[in-house]
Chains A and B, each alone.
Chain A
Amino acid sequence: MSGKLLINRRRLLGLGAASALTHLLSGCDWFDGGLGMGDGLRSTLEKANDLTYRMQRLLGGQQALAHEYDESEIRQGQRPNGSTDPQGADYLALKANKFADYKLKITGLVNKEMSFSLADLRSMAARTQITRHDCVEGWSCIAKWTGTQLGPVLDLAGVKPEARYCLYHCYDTMDDGSLSGPTPYYETSDLLDAHHPQTILAYGMNNADLPVANGAPIRVRIERALGYKQPKYVHTIELVDQFANVGGGRGGYWEDNGYDWYGGI
């Protein structure tokens, strides 16, 4: 009697295990299906990214510096990624004239909207740093970046107290071949990163002018963040109190495509 029962129980366990396995596999499909942008499951999981942002700000203090490397650690050129040769008419015209007509505009929630030519930016105090560029894909590259700190530039325009983010508008576009047409690249950062001592408007790289492939004439370096948070070909920095009304509303081109806004990990 008990022997029979045991076999039945074993068989039951076997059946249970088999059905658990099928459920697990179909569970993966269910999981796949819940991960689209705006899905409830995804939104829940994404809350962990807010926690990461808060925790890193807590641990990193306000203005801790990213590691700066020795000259000898520049072992190769800086790998270009994403846009490497913008084709917009306005950009091509500037490039044809070696960016002599370029203006960086500071707009939005500032006391005085301002614009800076490349010569203006070059005449301001320069900062050079050899840092590691970390791509969200996993690779890293060390290069020397020269530019002027963003903080003092923002101070000249006078950031209004209600401003919370810098919104970086860029010349390059993504998805050029898509049905919906080209999407302008844009990014946002908080004002802590904007005022970080290593956050520079870079116009030079590895002892030369910043190449087009790496973001000429101006690329913003935000050294505590991943590469996609460091916009190239920047033409306007707009001070905003929110970014829900911009692009896909998530604070950047890649963010609108499912990447986390705080690209610090």
Chain B
Amino acid sequence: MTTETQETVLPVAVKRKGPLIYRQSIFTRLTHWVWVICLFFLLASGLNIFNAHPTLYIGQQSAFPDLQTNGQHLDNAWLEIGAVNTDNGPRGQTTLLGHTFDTTGVLGTSGDPANPDFRGFPASVTVPSYYDLGTSRVVHFFFAWILVATLLVWLVASVLNRHIADIPPTPRDLRHLPRDILDHLRLKFEHGRKYNVLQKLAYSAVFFILFPLIILTGLTMSPGMDTAWPWLLELFGGRQTARSIHFLTMSALVAFFVIHIIMVVLAGPINEIRQMITGRYRAGPDVPFDRSKGDKP
């Protein structure tokens, strides 16, 4: 009797492990961590550059109401961060699409409340922490070059080792989309050999939409590049629209980063981080062991 119970209980009690698979090549891992550094400095220096003129517009140029005469009317700003004087002292103020919000302490004014800094984004999120447009540009363009160079390395390596095919979702993947969304909502994660469809969609958005967008809109802000590649201005509808898209794309990348980190934590941070350091990933128990793929127990 006792033996029988043990036999039936054992398979359930022992947590079965899937194989330890080799999932990320050295190129994927190295470029991933270089991008982490690049995007950190690009974001922090970019916010400092934005602070030089914390207003975003649509079109070729920037509206300056005090320069408009004889019925001229140009009003193309959609985001404006600034400060206003009130009876209670200076307040930070952000106007988004005509709606004004009090953003004291974060946007417009920040730092010591008794003696606030007047700046778009606060010192805590910019590089350098002090306001210095020239230096922020030095940092920004350096890391922009590293980002583009490592993207090219990744692209060539991923075409050669066929990692590139892992990223776009296939029609079959897309049919699984509703189920995959439900699984994610129930915090039930697949640990397969390949990415799941939501991962594929997220990585596709980053590689094939957000990275090209942020690079090209960055170049569109350059008067030199607009001369070399006049199609940039036509593609994005003007230098100021490009600056707006550059900012929105940055916001999308920040949103991706936040979700990415949450998913790493929820899906098993040690396994996920190990995969990006050693390349090895503990697959789920439903993944069959395959020595020919280099699996380890």
Taking the closest CB of chain B, its distance from the CB of A63, in whole angstroms, is 9
Subset of 9 A-B contacts with CB under 8 Å: A32-B129, A56-B222, A56-B225, A73-B60, A132-B61, A140-B61, A141-B62, A260-B141, A265-B225
Give the residues from 201 to 224 in chain A that come closer than 8 angstroms, CB to CB, to chain B. Answer: 223-224
CB atoms of A258 and B135 under 8 A apart: yes
Taking the closest CB of chain B, its distance from the CB of A225, in whole angstroms, is 6
Give the residues from 138 to 154 in chain A that come closer than 8 angstroms, CB to CB, to chain B. Answer: 138-142
* A89 contacts B by Cβ under 8 Å: no
CB atoms of B227 and A66 under 8 A apart: yes
Known: A56-B225, A75-B74. A49 touches B141 (CB 8 A): yes
Interface residues on A, range: 35 or more
Most A CB within 10 A of own CB, among B60, B138, B229, B243: B138
Interface size on B, residues (CB 8 A): 47
Bound CA span A265–B242, Å = 13
* B78 contacts A by Cβ under 8 Å: no
CB atoms of B64 and A79 under 8 A apart: yes
Find chain A residues with CB under 8 A from B223 CB.
66, 132, 134, 223-226, 264-265
CB atoms of A142 and B67 under 8 A apart: no
Q: Which chain A residues have a beta carbon within 8 Å of chain B's beta carbons?
A: 13, 28, 31-32, 35, 42, 44-49, 51-52, 56, 59-61, 64-67, 69, 73, 75-79, 132, 134-142, 223-226, 254, 257-260, 262, 264-265
Residue in A closest to B130 when the chains form the complex, CB atoms: A32
CB atoms of A259 and B129 under 8 A apart: no
CB atoms of A136 and B135 under 8 A apart: no
Find chain A residues with CB under 8 A from B225 CB.
56, 59-60, 264-265
Find chain A residues with CB under 8 A from B237 CB.
none
Bound CA span A72–B163, Å = 50
CB atoms of B228 and A139 under 8 A apart: no
Most B CB within 10 A of own CB, among A78, A135, A140, A254: A140
Residue in A closest to B232 when the chains form the complex, CB atoms: A67
Find chain A residues with CB under 8 A from B73 CB.
75
Q: Which of B129, B221, B230 contacts A265 (CB 8 A)?
A: B221
Find chain A residues with CB under 8 A from B128 CB.
31-32, 35
